[in-house]
Amino acid sequence: MDDFLPDYHFIAIGGIGQSALANILLAEGKKVSGSDISYSKYVQKLEKKGAKIYIGHDANNIKGSPVIVLSSAIKEDNPELIEAKNKGLKIIHRSDLLKIISDNYDDFMGFSGTHGKTTTSGLCSYLLSKSGLRPAYAVGGIIPELNTNGDCEDKSTSYFVAELDESDGTIVKYCPKYLLINNLEADHLDFYKKGLDDIIHTFSQLIFSLKDNSKVLINLDNEGNLRLIQANKNFNNFIGFAVDNPDAKYCAKNVKLDVLSSSFEVYKDNILLGQVELSIPGLHNVSNALGVAAVLLEAGIDFNIFAPHFKHFTGMGRRFQKSAEFNSIRVIDDYAHHPQEIKATLSAVKNYKDGRIVAIFQPHRYSRFQGFYNEFLDVLNFADYVAVLDVYSAGEKYLEGKTPENFARELKTKAQYFGGTIEQAAKNIFDELLPNDIVFTLGAGDITKMGGVLNELYLLKK
């Protein structure tokens, strides 16, 4: 008989959100079990920390009377969910667990918005950790050097950092003391049927549920954010940050952008605090870093304590992350799967003159591909050459309409369609690459494997 009786059991524990929460519970001394369909790197790390892991979903995986934690992806016919209901166990969504955990910390810092929330929450966690402030955190990617997406470095800490996901509306459950809103744009159209209007409504609900002493740090350079402010004129706790905008309390000035780095000066109420140097490129990352600095400053942390650590942050996993380099070709993997994210990524290297900018684009979800078809056409024209892959469904049913083949034909820049698996597409794409190309693999699906496959092909052909 299995004598491991967990306090919590996660269905699909290897998910990025689920595993982050499991990491925190393990650090707090809780007993954790979980199941997943594959033995991923996230699952392996949890097992090493003491979690009981089951590969495959089975009713027999439910031992004792744990709290069951699941995500929106878990269907009603999941055998573990059925067993939990039959046993009368407490079943909670992962957003409810994040709410429970976050309520235990006085300085809860929540990072939200259509784009950049993984980078900002990861950067904030990194800065707090490297500054010796030993935070707890749950973010949507692996943080460089910390090598995890979730932890509680000190049980007595007051600092908790979390990425707050708006995709399914559960963001309204949280009550951060410091809320960062990077930007608001139409996305997740399967849930937000009216696009940006629905998103603004959800964020309006969120901010009016906050406590009186809460502060909302909001990027004034984003049109959707300005609409949120306009729609909530009676909300008095907005604090603006922006690039060279006199209306913002926190401002980035003297911005310098290089191909793979950037720097800027931070001003608070028009008073210079100092300079920030970043090892990640792009104006969007200047905004990200400024927003994080604003959160930390509002939390009462001295600028000189955390500012020196910015330059050592190399970006989150799958955010402008080098995945291969061969024959003077650099391959950069990026999670960008929304038009504005792709625009930001490609714009970051607009000054690259040593070779071509190549985009390998894997559309993510049929609904997103169809809903932003024209926008994707516009932003991918920033590249000199585009390889278009099949749609990664992410579990969605096939939608008839525009196809990747037609998309490649409609692009104004040079483009080709490559169907099949990543491995099949890579064989053909490899022959199209030229020395000094900087290659971006863009998408939220299995395109992340592309850099490794291309590198293997190069080694075979040497």
- For the segment 266-292, what is each residue's pLDDT rounded down to a tens digit? 999 999 999 999 998 889 999 999 999
pLDDT at res. 222: 96
Write the CB contacts of 261 (distance below 8 Å, at least 6 apart in sequence): 277, 278, 279, 280, 281
pLDDT at res. 260: 81
Q: Is the pLDDT of residue 97 over 60?
A: yes
Q: Is the pLDDT of residue 350 over 90?
A: no
State the residue for tokens 């000094």.
436
pLDDT band (50, 70, 90) for residue 2: low
- Burial class from Cβ neighbours inside 10 Å (0-12, 13-18, 19+) for residue 276 reads buried
**What letter represents residue 66's amino acid?**
P
Quickly list H helices, 213-353.
223-231, 283-298, 303-306, 339-347
Q: Is the pLDDT of residue 439 over 90?
A: yes
Q: CA 312: distance to chain centroid?
A: 19
Average pLDDT over residues 95-105: 96
Q: CA 379: distance to chain centroid?
A: 20
- Using alpha carbons, list the distances in angstroms from residue 67 to 7, 17, 26, 93, 352: 6, 17, 14, 10, 52
Average pLDDT over residues 360-366: 96
Question: pLDDT digits over 224-259, tens only?
Answer: 999 999 999 999 999 999 998 988 999 999 999 988
Average pLDDT, the chain: 94
Question: pLDDT digits over 394-424, tens only?
Answer: 888 898 899 999 999 999 999 999 999 999 9
Q: Is the pLDDT of residue 63 over 70?
A: yes
Which superfamily does CATH assign the domain made up of 8-93 to?
NAD(P)-binding Rossmann-like Domain (3.40.50.720)
Domain topology for 103-312: UDP-N-acetylmuramoyl-L-alanine:D-glutamate ligase (3.40.1190)
321-461 to CATH, choices 1.20.58.100, 3.90.190.20, 3.40.50.300, 1.10.10.10: 3.90.190.20
Collapsing DSSP to helix, strand or coil, 334 comes out as: strand
Q: Is the pLDDT of residue 75 over 50?
A: yes
- Percent of the chain residues topping a pLDDT of 70: 100
Spatial distance between the Cα atoms of 56 and 39, rounded to a whole number of angstroms: 9
Q: Is the pLDDT of residue 1 over 60?
A: no
Q: Where are the domains of the chain?
A: 8-93, 103-312, 321-461
Spatial distance between the Cα atoms of 396 and 391, rounded to a whole number of angstroms: 10
